[in-house]
Amino acid sequence: MKLIDGKAVAATLREEIASEVEAIVGGGGRAPHLVAVLVGTDGASETYVGHKERCCGEVGFRSTVRRLPETTTEEELLTLIGELNDDPQVDGFIVQLPLPGHISEQAVIEAIDPRKDVDGFHPMNVGRMTSGLPAYVSATPEGILTLLKHYNIETAGKNCVVVGRSNIVGRPMANLLSQKGWDCTVTICHSRTENLKEIVAGADIVIAALGKAEFVTADMVREGAVVIDVGITRTPSSATKSGWKLTGDVKFDEVAPKCSYITPVPGGVGPMTIIALMRNTLRAAKNEIYGN
């Protein structure tokens, strides 16, 4: 069994981005600028945005967090999005999800200029991605592909089972792995899937992205499978400084011995997601996807 060290791969890629930013700034250019919009005080969202902000600092990006109260109306949020769309000093921005229940996430996502949609959530980017066109791609699937490539994991012709059908992870992941170049035979499982255990047990590559702690157990995994764990369930813990412990969607201790490769939680997919967002922001600053 080989552990996929997302933290180490992310550190290498961070250095590469930092060098590129240094060259841009050294040549008289402006540092890429990422804005994160955070509505309300969801603890997990605060943590994720904090990680993104820290990484921006490490690679030399300018970073701004726009904090809005839980009571913000949809109209007020849409007004801010309009301002960010029009601001030439902002290269890319994200609106951290989930949003309070009174705000339509879809309306918000569709209001973002696709050129600044570094989360890759806008239907324009989703549609371009599914058509195999240049697009901003959702950071978690992009980060996972980078890991598979880094470890030279063979995907062509392999049976890949994606557990979870979210717009952010499961569906883009399944689509990308089925595309030319990756060439997987992909199955998506979800809460209504029958014989889920048997389907997962037939997989060469398992992507666990359903958000249920320790859902994937040893009896569901074939000997020699590659297991990618996207889960990050936070549970209270007295053993950590933060008071939280992160648990993946995979029962790591019993699944790991059966795997050829597996990602840990934390230190697997999470750091790669942040790096993919940094890369998208750098692309936005260079107008790489949509041109000038």
For ligand GUN, which is the closer residue by CB, 113 or 204? 113
Which one-letter amino acid corresponds to residue 197?
A: K
**One residue of 59, 94, 161, 256 binding ligand GUN per CB under 6 A:** 94
Helix runs in 60-93, H state only: 74-86
Q: Which of 214, 211, 220, 213 is nearest to 259 (CA)?
A: 220
User: How many residues sit close enough to ligand GUN to count as binding (CB under 6 A)?
Assistant: 7
The smaller minimum CB distance to ligand GUN, of residues 122 and 158, is found at 122
> From the CB of 249, what's the least distance to ligand GUN, in Å?
14
96 is a contact residue toward ligand GUN (CB under 6 A): yes
Stretch that binds ligand GUN, among 94-102, 123-131, 186-194, 213-221 (CB under 6 A): 94-102
Question: Which DSSP state fits 216?
Answer: B
Phi-psi region of 192 (alpha: psi -120 to 50; beta: other; left: phi over 0): alpha
| Residue partners of 174: CB distance under 8 A and separation at least 6 | 160, 162, 165, 186, 188
Under rule CB under 6 A, residue 119 binds ligand GUN: yes
Q: Which amino acid makes up residue 32? A: P
Q: Is 89 a catalytic residue?
A: no
Which of 91, 96, 204, 229 is labelled catalytic?
Answer: 96
Q: Which of residues 145-174 bind ligand GUN (CB under 6 A)?
A: 168
Residues 134/8/230/143 CA torsion (nearest 10 deg): 0
Toward ligand GUN, which CB reaches closer, 77 or 94? 94
Contact residues for ligand GUN (CB under 6 A)? 94-97, 119, 139, 168
Q: Active-site residues: which are they? A: 52, 96, 119
